[in-house]
Amino acid sequence: MKLRLVLGLAAVVAGAVAVASAATDGTASIKFSTKASHAPTALTVNGTFAPGADGQQRILNVITLVLPTGTKLNGKAVALCPGDGGTAADDPGGAEHACPPGSKVGSGTAHVLLGDADTTFDITAWNQATGPMLQLSVNGTPAYTTDAEIKGNRIVYALPLADQIQAKTKSFMVMFDKVGTKAKPYLRTPSSCPKGRWKGGLEANISGGGTISLPASTACKKTH
């Protein structure tokens, strides 16, 4: 994975966001655009990360989306962005130039502390062979990209640059759009809902050791 840092990130200040109590690791939510089983859908995963025991926000160098078991992601349903995250990072125009428009599959935001500055990264997601690559930008300028690694029902994003620039993540949200066609969608909900809820959430690795697990669930139409 190749990452591209934009100069002057620490000077970009965004509005502060609320964090969860330090007594917990934070909170997460997960939501499909439909409660129907085995249906085309959009998906939003959202998390707020609490400070550590020392009261300081933590550096997260891996963030993992935990999708409800049985969620189907079909990268062949939409256009493919060629190459990998490095290809987009090496392009002066970023993913918007390196990837066909039809390969854009989502968006989001990440709120981090760079020094004492609250900074907002805008996220776009692009369909690549390994999964939905994320590009993070500041004020419309691409900052860096991270490739997706799909492990079962988990989409893993490594963020080694967070260690290099001491970026402390306060919150993270990504929404995958309802794209593709009804017969061949990019995302489908799980094929069953035996207990009336689908379970997922967020996980993260903390720089220096330790992990965070933020479970979440969303209602679905109960099936037998």
Q: Which domain holds residue 156?
A: 9-219
What pLDDT does residue 110 have? 98
CATH number of domain containing 179: 2.60.40
Q: Is 102 helix (H, G, I), strand (E, B) or coil?
A: helix
The residue type of 26 is G
Would 62 be classed as within a structural domain?
yes
Number of domain units in the chain: 1
Does residue 2 fall inside a structural domain? no
Q: Identify the band that residue 9 occupies on the pLDDT scale cut at 50, 70 and 90.
A: very low
Q: Is residue 79 part of a domain?
A: yes
| DSSP code, position 40 | B
Is the entire prediction scored with pTM above 0.85?
yes
Cβ of 180: how many Cβ atoms within 10 Å?
20
3-state secondary structure of 15: coil
Which range has the worst mean pLDDT, 85-89, 100-104, 167-171? 85-89
Residue 208: how many CA atoms within 13 Å on its side-chain side? 5
With contact defined as beta carbons under 8 Å apart, do 6 and 141 qualify? yes
**Confidence category of residue 1, pLDDT binned at 50, 70, 90:** very low
Residue 10, pLDDT > 50, answer no
Could you tell me the pLDDT band of residue 2, with boundaries at 50, 70 and 90? very low
Cross-sheet strand order for the sheet of 131-138: 26-32, 43-49, 167-176, 104-114, 117-128, 131-138, 141-146
Query: In this structure, is residue 3 part of a structural domain?
Result: no
User: What is the pLDDT at residue 223?
Assistant: 85
**Token digits of residue 159:** 């963020």
